[in-house]
Structure 1
């Protein structure tokens, strides 16, 4: 199985396919310019990235801000968009939500970050995660395979993840972001805290802890910041780093 095909099996899309964070259906990704800002709305995907890059190149007056609302997408597309944002020294603006690969790779790439006082920067793991949970369709497919073929496929997936995780960590080093930025919430010491909220589907950080992790220059519109106060059917724990988490 080719690497590109393998990436489709990884649980790196936020939530259930076809479901939006506000409970609606996912629509095709939109890319356009509004009020002098680049706007990206929808899943991170290669055609939308390409349209965004071409749109930026076509403009005489280059926007300085990428305003994004996305529940995520395949990691390679998030990394590609994040690298492009940093290469072009853009700011990133989130008025509603930026989740999964968007939070992992696009948000920290912004030179400056602007968020509304209810915006969610939501995490649930990344390529450096030690464990992965497949979506129901993929798990069903794996369960239907004979044991030897299932093991071979899982071994190949694990190898692909390991190779891609090296790229993820190299990317974080270029941004000055801590290596565990996208995996802290999966550590047992923090998971015990998250279990207090049965509706929590992931985690986020406070302004101070974002800074401790290397994600700085965040401005909140009309603070204080209460992530997710406008979301329906899901919530995010604000992970408070303990002393060992601040090393």
Structure 2
């Protein structure tokens, strides 16, 4: 199994994979659907899946017109492209505005890398795993190549930003037996998990700025449940 294939973290039988869960951004207002990445009034916008092509468009725009603000609404994308975008945001001191959803690789890598993260009142933040999740952690311990490469890339990223990787996985231990059962039966699917603002601060995400009209963690995305997770410093499974 390739590293690229594991771009979307898997919730095993608990949660559906992000490749099917979050691939559609039909609910996002894409007035510039023909231009997923563009520059307007000195700010850049990035709407849709994180990909090497979209990253290249963004980086090219920056080379021609240096900007410091990025508006993003993304359901995520591959691990490699997410980490590349996150590193670029970090290295260029970019301020990020979450205008819609920031999930998967966006939440894992773009959010912690930003100089500042400005939430809108309707921002949706959504995590559902990383190389530290149970199945991949086991694969790392067993020295499976794809898992080892993913873990190495994430370790380098989180060391660079100084942010804990724990927000990407604490939610696994917060899924109740009831929610697991309903998800398994297809009666109430789970999209992933998120955290109260205070818990995000405890993880070290001190770059986040709340909107003046307030922000509340969302409980659903595309009619699928978002589990309320909480801060943790360790998990019920072992990882290196």
- TM-score normalised according to structure 1 size: 0.75
Q: Distance in 2 between matches of 1:119 and 1:176?
A: 24
Match of 2:176 among 185, 192, 205: 192
Change in Cα spacing, 1:74 to 1:244, as seen in structure 2 (3 Å) is closer
Matched residue, 1:44: 50
- TM-score normalised according to structure 2 size: 0.77
| CA RMSD between the two structures | 3.0
Q: Distance in 1 between matches of 2:38 and 2:52?
A: 15
> Any conservation in 2 of the 1:37–1:67 contact (CA below 8 Å)?
yes
Task: Specify every segment of 5 or more residues in structure 1 that has no aligned partner in the other structure, as ranges.
Answer: 133-154
Q: Distance in 2 between matches of 1:243 and 1:161?
A: 22
Change in Cα spacing, 1:29 to 1:74, as seen in structure 2 (3 Å) is farther
Matched residue, 2:198: 208
Cα deviation for residue 121 of structure 1 reads: 1.3
Number of positions where the alignment pairs a residue of Structure 1 with one of Structure 2: 214
> Any conservation in 2 of the 1:194–1:237 contact (CA below 8 Å)?
no
Matched residue, 2:148: 162
Matches for 1:1-247 after TM superposition, within 5 Å: 3=2, 6-8=3-5, 10-12=7-9, 14-16=18-20, 18-20=23-25, 22=27, 30-59=36-65, 62-131=66-135, 158-187=144-173, 190-192=174-176, 195=179, 198-228=188-218, 231-241=221-231
Secondary structure of the structure 1 residue equivalent to 2:176: helix
Secondary structure of the structure 2 residue equivalent to 1:95: strand
Change in Cα spacing, 1:177 to 1:96, as seen in structure 2 (3 Å) is same
Secondary structure of the structure 2 residue equivalent to 1:170: helix
Q: Distance in 2 between matches of 1:82 and 1:184?
A: 21
Task: Specify every segment of 5 or more residues in structure 2 that has no aligned partner in the other structure, as ranges.
Answer: 10-16, 137-141, 183-187, 236-240
* Alpha-carbon displacement from aligned partner over 1:29-82 (angstroms, at most 9, x marks no partner): 7110123211001111001101110111101xx221111111011100000000
> Any conservation in 2 of the 1:194–1:200 contact (CA below 8 Å)?
no
Matched residue, 2:14: none
Q: Distance in 1 between matches of 2:63 and 2:232?
A: 44
Between 226-235 and 216-225, the greater mean CA deviation after superposition: 226-235
